[in-house]
Each structure stands twice: as structure tokens, then as C-alpha cells.
Amino acid sequence: MHLNECAEAQAATSHKNSFLPADSISDADRYSRQVLFPGIRAIGQQQLATSHVAIVGCGAMGAASASLLARAGVGTLTLIDRDFVESSNLQRQVLFDEADARETLPKAEAARRHIAQFNSGVTVQPRIADLTPSNIADLIPSSVQIVLDATDNFETRYLINDFAVQRGLPWIYAAAIGAYAATMNILPVSFEPQASNLEPVPPTACLACIFPKPPTGNVETCDTAGILSTAVNLAASIQVTETLKFLTGQANLMRRTLVSFDLWNPIGAGKIDHSEIATGTPRPECEVCGQRIFTHLAGENRAHITLCGRDSVQIHEHHRPVDFAALRARLESHAEIVDLRSNDLLLRFRRGTHTLTVFADGRAIVQGTTDIAQARSLYARFIGA
């Protein structure tokens, strides 16, 4: 045998032997580097394995945070998301691939499948739903220890804030737009630290303490201002690090500021533009954590139909289940309908310049318009009144 043939044979054997059965990957091997870190150690790793985290939103931020938490060994993840994978997501949403976009898989389910490929020991509970006042208690069960915000709108963030403050449930706000990243820890007034050997951790300000009212006017989104994946991953990394502190009984080490970074535009001496606002003390007159008035949780002034990104309208028809087989059979004979596709989780089709995606609970996203009346008309015509 020639030398090069021998080398190829040895490489092939080595390559073959490197593929080990899944059950041969022990936790000791998987987390060996993490348990060396003084803040985690073996006891911290055990605490992570029995922890339960909910992530609201499974787009760029949620996918990054879910991936980091799963790789860190957090035992149970509940992923709540209302959307599906599109090709424009692939630039920054790290848990998805081109096959997911071609199949228009719901993001929560696609995330579950990909997490199972790199850490089958983590339990992932996908929840394909829009978080609303009527379902938040069901989607975020009592076993959840902390909630991570990975949403794209303040309406949902204020809902999370109301729910978390009412339940004494810690949560972490996170946002990224353009090259800007920001996070903030919220430890509610009724929060009690997990570790009994630690001194009580004082509460922080809640979201409404810092921002009493949602932003108004022209609020930029990633659909209008663009977004860098680096900004997303920075915010997610900080958010997950704070979560690990909490889950390992070290809430006393959690940051008590709203921290933000502009990664693109340097300030003097080429430094990253960075700012922090103190959030360590609740505002006594705060409507939510001070007066305990939960307007968003009560559903007051919540629109039945909400805009979902640029040139799209979301229609809420919860608790109105759709028979995909019957709907598909009806639409197949319609001359105006093209590109009709469906799976167990959703049905999608195009009609002219509009694309309608229908979920199992009757909710739909109508793309190609921001006209609520037009979206409702299309829904009524093709899905039902």
C-alpha cells in the first residue's frame, strides 16, 4: 500500500471511530469545561439540570439564548413563539437552517428539533402561540423559575412585566436593533432568592418603573433599521449569563442596571459606546410594582389584531381550531390560490400579492399589507368569518 493510501485509510478509520452513540456522551464529558468555572462547579451544574426557563420569542434573540442555555445544560426550556422560519431569518437566527425556511416550520418547533441534535438531554417544550393575557398563565407554568424576553414589541414586554410582578417571577428584558444591544434584570418586589444560605436580594425596578409608558410614534424595528447578528448575540450572551447566576443561587451577583451598547459607532479613543442606568430601586409610585395595577395583564386596550413586523398583519382567532385537511381541500379548487402548502402545524398559501399563514388555533399572519381591514377581509374570505 502506498503511503498516501495508508494515510487515507488511517484517516477514514479515525473519522469512523469519532462518531459515537448518543448515549456515550456523558454529562461529565459534556460539561467538563463549564464545571471548572468557579461560579458553576459541580453543584451549579446539578442546579442547572433541574432548572426550567421560559423564553418568549424564538427569533434572533430567543434562538441565541435558547442555544446557549441548552448547551449550558439547563434541564427544561419552554419556547413560546407565534411565527415561522423565513429565509430573511437565516442571517441572525442561529437555530435555523435553509430546510426550516423551505418548510416554513414554526420557529418554536424548529428550535426544538435543532436543540435535540446537540443536547438530547434537554427537554424543550415548543409553544406555537402568541402570548396574550388569556393564555400567559398556561404558556408560562408555575415550574418556570425565570422568564427571558426575546420579543420584538413592547406590548408583549409590558404583559410579561405585569405577569412577572404579580407572580414574583424574575425576568430579563433584552433588545437589539441595528448595532444596538440592551438588557435589564427585573427582580420583583415579592421575589425570594432560591438559595436559603444567601442573604435576601432586594428587588429591582420593574420595566414600568423605568418606562412608565410604551414608546410612541415611529419606533424602529429590525424590519426598518436592520440588525447585526453581533448585537443580538451580545445581548443574548449577557441575558444568559445573568440567568446562569440566578439558576445557580447567585442572584446577589445579578446586575442592577439597564445596560446598553452601540457596537458600530465608537466614542472617544475608539471605545464602544456603552451606558448604564441604575435600576436597583423600585419607583414607589410605579403603577405596576408600586400600586399593583396590572393593566396589560387585564387585557385593557389590547388590539384584537396587531401588526407583526413590516407589511404584515396578525389576526387573532384563538380557540377557533382549524381543520387543515378540510381547509386545504377547499382551497385547492380555488383558482386564485397558488403555492398551497401545509403540515401538521400550519397551512400557507398565496393569493395575488398576499401570503396567508394559518396556525392550528385559527391565528393567521397576512403578509403583503398593513391594512387591517384588508387583512380581515382576506381572512374571512379564505379561512372563514
Tens-digit pLDDT profile for the chain (385 aa)? 443 444 444 444 333 334 445 557 899 999 999 999 999 999 999 999 999 999 999 999 999 999 999 999 999 999 999 888 988 888 888 999 999 999 889 999 999 999 999 999 999 999 998 899 999 999 999 999 999 999 988 889 999 999 999 999 999 999 999 999 999 999 997 666 555 445 678 999 999 999 998 776 556 666 667 889 999 999 999 999 999 999 999 999 999 999 999 999 887 667 778 899 999 999 999 999 999 999 999 987 565 556 555 688 888 766 677 888 889 988 988 888 999 998 888 899 999 999 999 988 888 889 998 888 888 888 888 887 5
Q: 131 near 296, Cβ under 8 Å?
A: no
Give buried/exposed letters for 64-92 (b at 16+ CB in 10 A, else e): bbbbbbbbbbbbbbbbbbbbbbbeebeeb
What is the gyration radius of the CA atoms in the chain, in angstroms?
Answer: 23
> What integer pLDDT is reported at residue 221 of this predicted model?
65
User: Which residues neighbour 24 within 8 Å (Cβ) at sequence distance 6 or greater?
Assistant: none
Q: 355 near 309, Cβ under 8 Å?
A: no
Positive or negative, the CA dihedral 169, 173, 174, 175 is positive
pTM: 0.81
> What integer pLDDT is reported at residue 1 of this predicted model?
43
Domains along the chain? 27-278 (3.40.50.720), 305-382 (3.30.310)
Q: 243 near 323, Cβ under 8 Å?
A: no
Pairwise CA distance, residues 352 & 336, whole Å: 7
The secondary structure element, H or E, covering residue 296 is none
> What integer pLDDT is reported at residue 245 of this predicted model?
97
Pairwise CA distance, residues 185 & 207, whole Å: 9
Nearest to 355 by CA among 372, 345, 341, 344: 341
Q: 239 near 174, Cβ under 8 Å?
A: yes
Question: Which three cell numbers, joined as nine digits, stand for 35?
Answer: 464545571
> What integer pLDDT is reported at residue 203 of this predicted model?
95
